Amino acid sequence: MSEKVLINDRLINREEASFSFDDRSMYFGDGIYEVIRIYGGFPFQMEMHMQRFQRSAEELDIPFDYDVKQSLTNSLLELLKENGLNEGIIYVQLSRGSADRNHLYERHTEPLIFAFTKPMERPQQAMSEGIATYLTEDERWLRCDIKTVNLLGNVMAKRKAADHDCQEALLHRGDLMTEGSSSNLFIIKGDVVQTHPANNYILNGITRQLVLDYIEEHGKSVVFEPIQVEDMKNIDEAFITSTTSEITPIVEFRGTVHHKLTVGPLTKSLQKRFNEDVVKTEQGE
């Protein structure tokens, strides 16, 4: 059976899918996206993803109202069912649409939606053993709260991390940490958990939001302040969060700061709590 993709409101065979090279996402990165995790054939926290998707569209002045959101949600569920994906992701993208190349966009352009599914296993080894990270300057734009497809700053940082045998880049603006190239950052010192506040310098990750709830359940306090780069040498635990990395411990910093860590007890406890929600999703709850 041929794999299906979604183009606007139509499910078609992947090999038949096409769209205009005049699409503004090609010229300007003028679009947004979401990645939704699938566990046991069911989407994880889909409504949270769709709410953020709608917010991103509104921030970029791309038409996307409640009715479109509901229709797209139904189409994505149909795509998931059609492809029979058990473990993986749905990638969904919304662009401003096709028009002659011009920095000034017109508001009458018809937006383009496309989506596909992709098998993906959970990162069990990384979550168990931890990863090495590379600290580097944050060179992205100033609206990181919008999940735009324009990701060159993230891409270049991730490449730099890989060139130093690290699995993620941790970004800082001057002497203040922001987040990972494709993740949010948490550090732990004593009984205090610290993470960057949800503002324009970071993406307010879905997994990040869940972890904040879990931390509250654990009776821990959270400091919402940027982490000083130099303070990264003096912490007890650190981990990243994202849809695909879930809760992944950090065991080494390289680059701007050099420091080694072990996978700590709070990180493990939060992973266990996250897995409880995964199991509920797998059971269709």
CA angle in degrees (0–180, nearest 5) for 240-127-259: 55
Q: What is the pLDDT of residues 168-177, one digit of tens each?
A: 999 999 999 9
| Catalytic residue selected from 147, 158, 220, 280 | 147
pLDDT given for residue 1 in this prediction: 67
Nearest to 233 by CA among 130, 160, 135: 135
Nearest to 196 by CA among 230, 239, 157, 225: 225
Cβ atoms within 10 Å, residue 8: 14
Average pLDDT (253-271) is 97
| Domains of the chain, each with CATH number or no CATH | 4-119 (3.30.470.10), 124-282 (3.20.10.10)
Q: What is the pLDDT of residues 42-68, one digit of tens each?
A: 999 999 999 999 999 999 999 999 899
Nearest to 247 by CA among 127, 108, 81: 127
Q: What is the pTM of this model?
A: 0.96
Share of the chain residues as helix, strand and coil, in percent rounded to the nearest 5: 35, 30, 35
Residue with tokens 């949270």: 48
For 191, the token pair is 């009984």
Q: Rounded to whole angstroms, how far apart are CA atoms 142 and 28?
A: 16
For 172, the token pair is 């800082």
Q: What is the pLDDT of residues 185-243, one digit of tens each?
A: 999 999 899 999 999 999 999 999 999 999 999 999 999 999 999 999 999 999 999 99
DSSP 189-257: ETTEEEE--SSTTS---HHHHHHHHHHHHTT-EEEESPPBGGGGGG-SEEEEEETTTEEEEEEEEEETS
Amino acid identity, position 108: H
81 carries an active-site annotation: no
36 forms beta bridges with 90
- C-alpha distances out from residue 60 to 16, 50, 123, 187, 259, Å: 30, 15, 33, 32, 39
